[in-house]
Amino acid sequence: MELTNSKIPSARKMDVRICTVQWEMHELKSQNHFIDKVEKFVKTASEYRADAVLFPEFLNAPLMNTFRERKAEKAIEKLAKNAPKINELTKALAQKYNINIIAGSVPEIENGTLYNVANLFHRDGRHEKQKKIHLTPDEKTCWNLEGGDAVTAFDTDFGKVGILICYDVEFPELGRILAEERIEILFVPYWTDTRSGYQRVRHCAQARAIENECYVVLSGNTGNLPEVTNMDTQYAHNCILTPSDYGFPHDCVAAEATPQIEMPLFADLDMNQLERLHEKGSVKNLKDRRTDLYNITHHKNK
């Protein structure tokens, strides 16, 4: 696995306002209808002066309803062919509303291979990507997706961040690799069909916040697409999670949405509090690692 970094030096703000969108999947009439809905949430986040807004995994899945394609693998291919236009329009929204957009994830085709890709649109016009690394059985068998092989720490104008798509957050090695790159916020776009699936993602995300001393932001889907194979039900309960120590909420939750209701969720995150945790926490999960006994090694591409 290759670890890469975006190229600009890391900027840093003391207080960062984050918005995460709990997104309801329902039938959409057209691509324009989809973009109008995205813009509504981007505009709202911008008006509330958020530095970044996070959308869920498979953000553009409702467009599969317009294809009327019963075969799952054909529907996802059509959706992937739609990705360049969606990305172009979303990039324009980031600049128009002066906000960083983590546009959940969308299926994309690269050199004939289908990936699940999270797109980070910076408000200065830059565009960076993070492929999903670990795929669920359905992603492999129903949609013929392939996993990526690089994990990236991104420099933004509000600090260093990472993105792990849904199932990826259940693998602690990835979070630790990003922590060693000093990320401060980990964004997790997810799609879970049941509450039990959601609980796996949430509890693993909370563990990543504690062990890596960072904030973790979740964004998922509600609603249903009964005419789309493999998308008949979704469960979401968005939250913004914190480490567990003095100065943070006692339940490690900075903000929490109402389950299964479409809504934006905001929280103000204190970056200085993370620095205090690293240096003066009651426990120091990062500093107290016994690297004389164990370590994590990532393998670069050949």
Q: How far is CA 105 from CA 44, 66, 172, in A?
A: 20, 19, 21
Q: Answer for the pair 106, 143: CB distance below 8 angstroms, yes or no.
A: no
Separation of alpha carbons 217 and 219, rounded Å: 7
296 found inside a domain: no
Show the domain range for 205.
Answer: 2-280
The DSSP letter of residue 11 is P
259 found inside a domain: yes
Q: Give the angle 9-12-15 at the CA atoms, nearest 5°.
A: 160
Clarify whether 132 is annotated catalytic: yes
Number of domains present in the structure of the chain: 1
Q: Which of 37, 91, 108, 166 is catalytic?
A: 166
pLDDT tens for each residue of 62-89: 888 787 777 888 889 999 999 999 999 9
Separation of alpha carbons 107 and 116, rounded Å: 5
Q: What mean pLDDT is predicted for residues 280-290? A: 94
Clarify whether 166 is annotated catalytic: yes
pLDDT tens for each residue of 84-136: 999 999 999 999 999 999 999 999 999 999 999 999 999 999 999 999 999 99
Element (H, E) at 251: none
Q: Which of 108, 132, 139, 160 is catalytic?
A: 132
pTM attached to this predicted model: 0.94
Q: For the domain that residue 146 is a member of, what is the CATH number?
A: 3.60.110.10
- Dig out the tokens for 299 from the structure: 């393998």
Separation of alpha carbons 92 and 107, rounded Å: 20
Clarify whether 214 is annotated catalytic: no
Q: Which of 57, 108, 184, 213 is catalytic?
A: 57
197 found inside a domain: yes
* Chain center to CA of 98: 19
